[in-house]
Amino acid sequence: MKEIVEVAIGLPIPKAFHYRIPEKMKDSLQIGMRVLVPFKGRKVTGFTLDLLDHPPKGIEGKLLDVEDLLDEIPLIDAGMLRFYRWISDYYIYPLGEVIKTGLPPGLHLKSEPLLTLTGEGIRSLAQGELDPIQENVFREIQRHGKVPLKRLLTLFPEELTRAKILSWRKHGFLDLEDGIKSKEVKPKLEKVVEIAGGEPDKLLSKKRKEILEWLKEKGKVSYSELNKRFKSPSMPLQFLQAAGLITLSRREVSRDLSVRSDLKPYSKPELNRDQEVVLAEVLKGIHSKRFSPFLLHGVTASGKTEIYLRAIEEVLAQGREAIVLVPEISLTPQLLSRFKDRFGENLALLHSGLGKGERFDQWRKIRKGEVSIVIGARSAIFAPFQRLGIIIVDEEHDPSYKQEEKLKYHARDLAVVRAKQVEATLLLGSATPSLESYYNAEKGRFRLLHLPERIEGKHLPRVDVLDIKKESGLFSEKVKTALQKNIEEKKQSLLFLNRRGFASFILCPDCGFTFKCPNCSVTLTYHLGDRSLQCHYCDYRIQAPADCPRCQGHQLRGMGIGTERLEEEIRTLFPGAQVERMDRDTTTRKNSHHHILKRFESGDIDILVGTQMIVKGHDFPKVTFVGVISADTSLHFPDFRSSERTFQLLTQVAGRAGRGESPGEVIIQTYNPDHYSIQRAREHDFSGFYREEIHFRKDLEYPPFSRLINFKLSGNSEKRTKSAAEEMGKIGQTLLKKGYGKGIEVLGPSTAPFAKVRGKFRWQMLAKGKSSRWLHQFSQALAARMEDQTKGKGISLDIDVDPVSIL
């Protein structure tokens, strides 16, 4: 019998901990289950990692008991545990937190410390015997009765520390109490009615008889179905149950997910020559049952989706399973409905747009092997399949595969790792592959496959680049003419502008005042719809005033345009046309993307205005014109990938035009008509772009010629964050001197490009090096030495590993 269990805790603590297994759990406790364990006076959820015969040396006496076992069967199998361990090591992130990221939300019970005032505390407050900070804190507690410790630390970032609070507790002013937080998601149950088989021994009333007859036909039905058929059935049912004619019970049901497929039905086409060649290669990989990585570079509308579908058919025929990653699933109802048409119910969905309960149910379906395919956004890479045969990453270049908070993983990179671990096929697809992936393909790490032409010999659209320096107004005569022509010919147009809102900021021309967010170092965007000023980085929002708050001037003016303004101008210009806008503001309600796209597909909309939401892989044959209002927004982003990003966006948005019978036309407006990312997009020349960009990366030693890790510090207190950053710089230099990172260059520390976001001050330090092993070692050492600088000081260190596509 194993005595001891090793547990990873879902808290930002790097190591695993050991607990004793109480007698009553010895038969049932296994690796990969959740347990509730005592930790620093609280109770937290942990994951069991290993079972041991004896406690590790030196801590025998101190071990506590597992408090509770939360699962009957393990949530995590050995394969997933291995995957999680790899991630934890690579991203230098606590294993318990990694596991938590991979599991559906709502499985975490946690107690949190709540503070209350003792009698002594109340008395001292009343008698005014306290210092000012103590008084403020105690008042806050008194006002609410109980206050979470964490909340106090954010309320008083400069003055308060955890240590201070604990000392007040020692002095008898405060009490700490344990509150269990967050309710656990449970399987949903429904009532079912079933025929029991006996015969009625006396005459039944009409209604009872009807119900019984109906049930005999059906055998077993849900109560809700019965309730639909018969009015108020509960009394007759009670009678029938008492007479032993029926039984009432409960069964587990899945929270229904509307995987809608009310878009145009998708039939199975004959493959063309290129598709056949590509598929044959992929099938070789699938049949080998070895790790077989492919990069499929196929121009827009070259029929990549059909390759995915056929490859999956083959994997299913082998009795294996498939993960399909798509950038943002709510934006791709078309792809979803194609999968639904081909595979029916054998499909689970995983993405953040689902409710907690829905996500939990989808996850359980996968875990229990009830489905063989999952489609999802980046988190679907954690789908707990046990016989994985293929991982497909559609639009592998898309930045949304990177999670930017907490565990900063890149789902494409993880797809490579997982496919390798389980010896599966990996299929990365894109019209504009990322530089990293393409470079890997050139080096022979991925097999490169091509679909160089559009389906059925359709042409890529003609693209014109227009210099807006020579134009006046929002759009050129050429764009206006093209839109007018399309309206007359009943064809559709897309207008792309990568900024939402009405005006990017409001300026007072008299005194130069602009409205800034108090929590973030950005200007507020003006939204005409509700006449508000909003921060696009936090939830801050105010009513837009009529006059300048500084000089009382009457001339406040909106500067810089957004999609809301664009929509308005288009409506004024073409009063008869059907105009619709798709951006974050018009798609807050559930399924609203879907409704807009459906109306667009049916031809009800003439002109669709939008942000990058309209760029994603939609396939609308009637779109013949695409206008890019300004190509410069992404070009000036302070990031070494800005050219790449611009090329991708322009190629993708242009790719929406001319997918049907009529050829497409694209106009790109820009201040930088000669920039290579714009010129190469105009020529649909990916390899030309790649050659220029890779040259530049090589010269400056940027990825893929080096690897980057960004150390991001953020904290509520400006002063403390700054001094922690300075300390980080010193530690970095010391480590370099000690030889921790051979060939590593450290840049910074400096304030982050956005120096303040959501009230947190942000600093960063960049480490750059050729060897990922040395970089990793350096990072681990730095993270360990930074603990003293951050722990209990309201400062956190985030390690952000730059994506590399193969590891």
What is the greatest pairwise CA distance in the chain? Answer: 95
* Minimum CB distance to ligand ADP smaller for 266 or for 505: 266
44, 8, 7, 48: which is closest to 28 by C-alpha? 48
Q: Closest approach of Cβ 468 to Zn ion, in Å? A: 30
Pair type for strands 174-181 and 110-117? antiparallel
Q: Closest approach of Cβ 335 to ligand ADP, in Å? A: 8
Contact 540, 534 (CB under 8 A): yes
* Minimum CB distance to ligand ADP smaller for 384 or for 655: 655
Q: What 3 state SS string does 317-329 have?
A: HCCCEEEEECCCH
314 contacts ligand ADP (rule: CB under 6 A): no
Q: Can you tell me which of 535, 609, 635, 782 binds Zn ion, judged by CB under 5 A?
A: 535
Crossing angle of the two packed helices 772-790 and 718-737, in degrees rounded to 10: 140
Q: Can you tell me which of 76, 103, 185, 301 binds ligand ADP, judged by CB under 6 A?
A: 301
302 contacts ligand ADP (rule: CB under 6 A): yes
Contacts of 541 (CB under 8 A, 6+ apart): 532, 533, 534, 535
Q: Closest approach of Cβ 141 to ligand ADP, in Å? A: 58
Q: Can you tell me which of 455, 573, 766, 807 binds ligand ADP, judged by CB under 6 A?
A: 455
654 contacts Zn ion (rule: CB under 5 A): no
Q: How many residues line the site for ligand ADP (CB under 6 A)?
A: 17
Q: Can you tell me which of 104, 157, 285, 298 binds ligand ADP, judged by CB under 6 A?
A: 298
* Minimum CB distance to ligand ADP smaller for 125 or for 428: 428
Contacts of 461 (CB under 8 A, 6+ apart): 626, 654, 657, 658, 663, 664, 665, 666
269 contacts ligand ADP (rule: CB under 6 A): yes
Q: Closest approach of Cβ 756 to Zn ion, in Å? A: 8
Q: Can you tell me which of 11, 538, 781, 807 binds Zn ion, judged by CB under 5 A?
A: 538
50-58, 406-414, 540-548, 625-633 -> range binding Zn ion (CB under 5 A): 540-548
303 contacts ligand ADP (rule: CB under 6 A): yes
Q: How many residues line the site for Zn ion (CB under 5 A)?
A: 7
The backbone torsions φ and ψ at residue 550, rounded to the nearest 5 degrees and listed phi first, read -90, -50
Q: Can you tell me which of 306, 358, 436, 567 binds ligand ADP, judged by CB under 6 A?
A: 306
Q: What are the CA-CA distances from residue 544 to residues 513, 529, 530 (Å)?
A: 14, 11, 9
267-275, 511-519, 673-681, 776-784 -> range binding ligand ADP (CB under 6 A): 267-275
Q: Closest approach of Cβ 416 to ligand ADP, in Å? A: 21
* Tokens, residue 760: 């947190």
Q: Which does 97 bind (CB under 5 to 8 A by kind): Zn ion, ligand ADP, none?
A: none
Q: Which does 275 bind (CB under 5 to 8 A by kind): Zn ion, ligand ADP, none?
A: ligand ADP
Q: What are the CA-CA distances from residue 214 to residues 194, 220, 241, 533 (Å)?
A: 11, 10, 15, 60
Q: Can you tell me which of 271, 283, 538, 781 binds ligand ADP, judged by CB under 6 A?
A: 271
Q: Which does 302 bind (CB under 5 to 8 A by kind): ligand ADP, Zn ion, none?
A: ligand ADP
* Minimum CB distance to Zn ion smaller for 537 or for 740: 537
Contacts of 233 (CB under 8 A, 6+ apart): 211, 226, 227
Cβ burial of 452 (10 Å; 0-12, 13-18, 19+) is: exposed
* Residue 66, H or E segment: none
53-61, 200-208, 360-368, 530-538 -> range binding Zn ion (CB under 5 A): 530-538
In the DSSP assignment, the letter for residue 89 is H
Q: Closest approach of Cβ 487 to ligand ADP, in Å? A: 24
Q: Which does 806 bind (CB under 5 to 8 A by kind): ligand ADP, Zn ion, none?
A: none
540 contacts Zn ion (rule: CB under 5 A): yes
Q: Closest approach of Cβ 251 to Zn ion, in Å? A: 47
* Minimum CB distance to Zn ion smaller for 496 or for 540: 540
Q: Closest approach of Cβ 252 to ligand ADP, in Å? A: 37
Q: Which does 382 bind (CB under 5 to 8 A by kind): ligand ADP, Zn ion, none?
A: none
* Minimum CB distance to ligand ADP smaller for 270 or for 488: 270
Q: Closest approach of Cβ 452 to ligand ADP, in Å? A: 11
Residue holding tokens 């954690």?
Answer: 382
The backbone torsions φ and ψ at residue 498, rounded to the nearest 5 degrees and listed phi first, read -90, 50
Residue holding tokens 């049901």?
Answer: 253
11 contacts ligand ADP (rule: CB under 6 A): no
Name all contacts of 348-351 with Cβ < 8 Å and 24+ positions apart: 348/373, 348/374, 348/375, 348/383, 349/257, 349/259, 349/374, 349/375, 349/376, 350/374, 350/375, 350/376, 350/377, 350/379, 350/380, 350/383, 351/376, 351/377, 351/379, 351/380
Other CB atoms within a 10 A radius of the CB of residue 67 amount to: 16
Kindly identify the residues of this chain, within the stretch 27-86, that bind ligand ADP according to CB under 6 A. Answer: none
* Minimum CB distance to Zn ion smaller for 418 or for 760: 760
Q: Which does 537 bind (CB under 5 to 8 A by kind): Zn ion, ligand ADP, none?
A: Zn ion
Contact 429, 395 (CB under 8 A): yes
The backbone torsions φ and ψ at residue 158, rounded to the nearest 5 degrees and listed phi first, read -80, -45
* Minimum CB distance to Zn ion smaller for 381 or for 535: 535
Contact 628, 672 (CB under 8 A): no
Q: Which does 304 bind (CB under 5 to 8 A by kind): ligand ADP, Zn ion, none?
A: ligand ADP
Other CB atoms within a 10 A radius of the CB of residue 371 amount to: 18
Encoded one letter per residue, x for contact with ligand ADP by CB under 6 A and - for no contact, window 613-632 reads ----x-x-------------
Per-residue burial over 242-251, b if 16 or more Cβ lie within 10 Å, else e, is: ebebbeeeee
Q: Which does 339 bind (CB under 5 to 8 A by kind): Zn ion, ligand ADP, none?
A: none
452 contacts ligand ADP (rule: CB under 6 A): no
651 contacts ligand ADP (rule: CB under 6 A): no
* Minimum CB distance to ligand ADP smaller for 306 or for 693: 306
Q: What is the four-CA torsion angle of 361, 366, 370, 376, rounded to 10 degrees? A: 80
Q: Can you tell me which of 30, 272, 521, 780 binds ligand ADP, judged by CB under 6 A?
A: 272
* Residue 278, H or E segment: helix 273-288
* Minimum CB distance to Zn ion smaller for 247 or for 519: 519
* Minimum CB distance to ligand ADP smaller for 422 or for 431: 431
The backbone torsions φ and ψ at residue 556, rounded to the nearest 5 degrees and listed phi first, read -45, 135
Q: Can you tell me which of 45, 124, 134, 275 binds ligand ADP, judged by CB under 6 A?
A: 275
Q: Can you tell me which of 101, 111, 292, 305 binds ligand ADP, judged by CB under 6 A?
A: 305
* Minimum CB distance to Zn ion smaller for 230 or for 537: 537
Please spell the DSSP secondary structure of 304-371, one letter per residue.
HHHHHHHHHHHHHHTT-EEEEE-S-GGG-HHHHHHHHHHHTTSEEEE-TTS-HHHHHHHHHHHHTTS-
* Minimum CB distance to ligand ADP smaller for 177 or for 456: 456
794, 789, 771, 627: which is closest to 707 by C-alpha? 771
Q: Can you tell me which of 304, 359, 565, 768 binds ligand ADP, judged by CB under 6 A?
A: 304
* Residue 677, H or E segment: helix 676-682
Q: Closest approach of Cβ 295 to Zn ion, in Å? A: 39
Contacts of 237 (CB under 8 A, 6+ apart): 193, 211, 226, 246, 248
> What's the CA gap between 422 and 436, in Å, rounded?
23
Encoded one letter per residue, x for contact with Zn ion by CB under 5 A and - for no contact, window 499-528 reads ------------------x-xx--------
Q: How far apart are the first and last CA of the chain?
A: 39
- Centroid of chain to Cα 629: 28
Residues that bind Zn ion (CB under 5 A): 517, 519-520, 535, 537-538, 540
Residues that bind ligand ADP (CB under 6 A): 269-272, 275, 298, 300-306, 455-456, 617, 619
